[in-house]
Amino acid sequence: MQENVMQFFNTLPLFIGIAISFTFSFNEDTSIKVPILLVIISTVISFLLPIFNLKSWITYSVIVSESAMFVLIAILLSKKIKMWLAWILGWIAGFVWAIVLLILLGMTFNI
């Protein structure tokens, strides 16, 4: 029972990040500066966490970075292509961004 609850809490930030990113991408008045700042700040935090021996928190900062990247790509592409295609491409780009970020973190800090 306790393992199921802990597994739920480990995946909960992912679902919250996806829900927030969809909400921001639906809003047409969202400034492009907000996702850019979120990507930069969460990436810097991702690289600072292992320095302070907080390796277990890296996943959460990567999730925030991935969600912000999704919103950024969706906002940029929605002006040129259809919104549903921009969401799909943004989701793919956010996923690739998260994998690349985790690979860089793993190579840098031997995680």
Q: In the predicted model, what is the mean pLDDT of residues 40-58?
A: 86
pLDDT exceeding 90 applies to what percent of the chain?
6
pLDDT at 3: 53
Q: How deeply is 7 buried, as exposed, middle or buried, from its count of CB atoms within 10 A (0-12, 13-18, 19+)?
A: exposed
Residue-level pLDDT at 96: 93
Model pLDDT, residue 94: 87
Structure-model confidence comparison of residues 17 and 62, the more confident one: 62
The pLDDT confidence band at residue 4, using thresholds 50, 70 and 90, is low
For 58-107, the pLDDT digits (tens) are 888 888 888 888 888 888 888 888 888 888 888 899 889 989 998 998 88
How far CA 41 is from CA of 14, 46, 48, 60, 67, in Å, comes to 18, 9, 10, 13, 13
